[in-house]
Structure 1
Amino acid sequence: MTDDQQANVNEFSCAAIFGASGGIGRAWTENLANNGVTVWAGSRSGNVPQEGDVRPFAFDLNDEATIEQAASLMQSRPPQLIIAATGVLTLADGTGPERSYRGLRPDIMAQVMALNTIGPAMIAKHMLPLLDRHERGVFAAISARVGSISDNGLGGWHSYRASKAALNMLIKNFAIELRRTHKQAVVAGLHPGTVDSELSKPFQGNLPEGQLTDPAEAAQNLLAVLRGLTPDNSGEVFDFAGKRIPS
């Protein structure tokens, strides 16, 4: 770890994790809390780690008012690191990604966009104003390599791909806007790889050996990536190895 990266570690004295009950969100919360960071840990269920200085809150991606209330709560202890560790691949009723355009349904597309794009956008809307205008601050959202348009050689998974591509555009937009007032801020998308979680479970059967990552390892990898980003990287999407994913 470079001196700059070590300095960035120390700057994260407070973090906010939206989606702290999920596999990687829980791992992020535990990692940060165990390293002395105050963590605002949010979930719909309220099932978040209870260790260190963890401060639970409730929110619903489909209810903007709950996100606004969470941001208001954090004004007493604003985070320098904000992570939207949210997203959906398979819906609660078991509906998975479409393999063909023939399977497209407007109601399913709307649900996927609401959870993967609009929800994180509302988190950004209410949380970005909490970042200090003169200090380093980071906002990150879980994206995916399949959201890259130029890297798409297989097609399929239409709603999921489209929702992540739209999220990536919003990340770029937010970075441009925030740069005008927050010179030290970073807005980034993160591709964690295939993490052993409920999201990936239906698709783990055909994975090559060694491609499935433990949530704790994935969280550690992505924290290392975030700590190495500078304002020059704002608006881009990075994978778990710190490599930029093309738009």
Structure 2
Amino acid sequence: MIDLHCHILFGIDDGPGTAEDTVALAQAFVAAGTTTVLATPHVSFDWPANDSALIAAKVADVRALLAERTVPLDVRPGAEVALTRALELPDDELRRLTLDDSGLLLLECPLSPVAAGVEAAVAELRRRGHDRLLLAHPERVPAFQREPALLARLVEAGALTSMTAGAFSGRFGRDVARFARDLLADGLVHTVASDAHSPARRPPGIGGPLAEAGLTADAIEHLGRRAPLAALAGRPLPAAPPVMVTRRTGPLGRLLGR
């Protein structure tokens, strides 16, 4: 699996606090079947020191640490950039914050229930030339929960989505699982990531939660490897499998009623 969204760098945000915590999280990634992760610490007003230079240095440290401990996990640089912060950052810095210098920007829309202006803000980023946008965990964004058509319009304009695997298996509650199901049915799920922060509290893994939720093996491979690779390369996404969920067992299968 290729995980486009996780918090594996220690001492930089709400992910691991120490180097040993990062090693433990990396080992959990490997155990969960992940081969490559994009390290995407928060870049927001809550973490004002985080910038592309600090992230690059931290990634280099973690890569060296994992090589020393013989943990076979490939860690690449990236960032989860808050929409409000992205509007304030220079264009050159935004480009440096894209996933592995691919030009694909992982964007976190506001999680506040009263946030407004998402569509206009995204349009402003596109006007500035940042037209390869990957929207982080849209299933948990109140603006999209209130108005799913808003997310559909952003996708129609070219944005991609990065859902959280645990959302499908009920980790964030039944309402979020139901909304994730709706987005999947509407063709608004492009990639799935773990958004992992720790081995226990917010664990890694894409295939496990999706299988638990009732997605097919082909759907898991598509959402967790084929589509992320294409998104990073700037290629059109491969066609989604015709059948994504096949069984009633698991939260998603029961919600789908299939």
TM-score range, shorter chain: 0.3 to 0.5
- Using structure 1 for the length normalisation, give the TM-score: 0.39
Q: TM-score scaled by structure 2?
A: 0.38
